[in-house]
Structure 1
Amino acid sequence: MILPIVAYGNPILRKVAHDIDEQYPDLKKLIEDMWETMYASNGVGLAAPQINKDIRLFVVDSAQIFANMDEKDKEEENYPDDPGIKQTFINAHIVEELGDDWVYNEGCLSIPKIREDIYRAEEVTLEYQDENFVKHTRTFIGITARIILHEYDHIDGKLFIDHISPLKRKLIKRKLDDIVKGNIKVDYKMSFAKK
């Protein structure tokens, strides 16, 4: 089932999410719905707060980026995480971030039609559980690490626009206000804050 994506302005996007256990109700169905919602919205990642759940759960599919990238782009740029991943992350916690910060133009399904250059670490090591609650500690690099860090921000109550300068924030304020008011059209289901 495709779920509505929570728009900027909803307080749940600013809440620090909590860990869950295997008893969380209908978790398997929720994860399936998150994948379906993410793909229907043309996303590469989706966190539970974006579908109005304050739990430490997100899904990432960086494999589709590499699958859709033309060979010329792959040859011109080094992508150390090619071919990417398709994975569910439960109760994720960052162990460490390493490498130089690098810039990439990011967007967010909860903040449609706004994109900004964001600096993030080259790699991240996470402790997390998969959909079967098997524990993992793993290091991710490149674009995959970036998507994970973006989704991780969501479960910590942060948004990608928190990484931009106050001046840039001021420049996009009107667009952000329009999102809060629901004065924006997108081609996927959205849930706007109450007016």
Structure 2
Amino acid sequence: MLIRLYGDPVLRKVAKEIDPTSLKDEFIKEMANTMYVEDGVGLAAPQIGISERFFLYDVGEKLHLIINPQILEMSPEKEEGEEGCLSIPDIFEEVPRSLKIRVKYYDNFGKEYTRELEGYEARVFQHEFDHLNGKLFIDYISPVKKRLLKQKLNDIKKKSAEILKEIEKTAARK
């Protein structure tokens, strides 16, 4: 699986809900493997070119598969924390996130969960959830910081365009 980079239009789309039972075990394993190989903590479907509402994350205790998530409540208390993203390599910035959230989602068997998350796990969930809504962590940084990152972001966009050309060539050969 290829990680889609900043500049790829799929990263800015609002993803569609899916049938939770439609995700196959092999696909989930391959996606998880991609996340771990790339040294990620989370990976959302749009980051691999699929505009659907699901993501994976692992904050150290186990792999979580989150399908059709909703954030039901967000605490007004926020905390700044450094974030990075597999789709925006080598850029790390401070981002404010709610300290606690209450969420609802499904697993790949169609079972519904409602959970309270806090701290780092809440941060990761919010980051991955943003991907499903076409939002990236750099959208939270100041215009001044964004200007300072302009060249790096442009370089990532160029690489993204090259990856998209390769994907199109491969698809044309099939």
Aligned partner of 2:7 in structure 1 is 9
Give distance in 2, aligned partners of 1:86 and 1:99.
28
Return the match for 1:157 from 107, 115, 134: 134
**C-alpha offsets along residues 31-59 of structure 1, whole Å, 9 cap, x if unaligned?**
11110000000001000000000011101
For the pair 1:112 / 2:110, whether they are aligned, the reply is: no
CA apart distance, 1:86: 2.6
Note if contact 1:10-1:192 (Cα within 8 Å) is conserved in structure 2.
Answer: no
Return the match for 1:86 from 35, 39, 63: 63
For the pair 1:129 / 2:127, whether they are aligned, the reply is: no
User: Would you say how many aligned residue pairs link Structure 1 and Structure 2?
Assistant: 166
For the pair 1:41 / 2:38, whether they are aligned, the reply is: yes
Aligned partner of 2:117 in structure 1 is 140
Give distance in 2, aligned partners of 1:192 and 1:125.
37
The 3 A distance-change label for structure 1 pair 120 and 23 is closer
Note if contact 1:180-1:192 (Cα within 8 Å) is conserved in structure 2.
Answer: no
For the pair 1:96 / 2:73, whether they are aligned, the reply is: yes
Give distance in 2, aligned partners of 1:149 and 1:23.
23
CA apart distance, 1:192: 3.1
* Structure with more helix by fraction: 2
Aligned partner of 2:163 in structure 1 is 192
Q: Percent same amino acid among aligned pairs?
A: 43
Return the match for 1:168 from 138, 145, 152: 145
Aligned letter for 1:179?
I
Give distance in 2, aligned partners of 1:193 and 1:131.
29
Give distance in 2, aligned partners of 1:104 and 1:194.
35
Return the match for 1:51 from 44, 48, 51: 48
Aligned partner of 1:69 in structure 2 is none
Aligned partner of 2:18 in structure 1 is 20
Q: Secondary structure at the match of 2:72?
A: strand
Note if contact 1:15-1:156 (Cα within 8 Å) is conserved in structure 2.
Answer: yes
Give distance in 2, aligned partners of 1:129 and 1:121.
22
Q: Secondary structure at the match of 2:39?
A: coil
Q: Which runs of 5+ in 1 are unaligned?
A: 64-83, 184-190
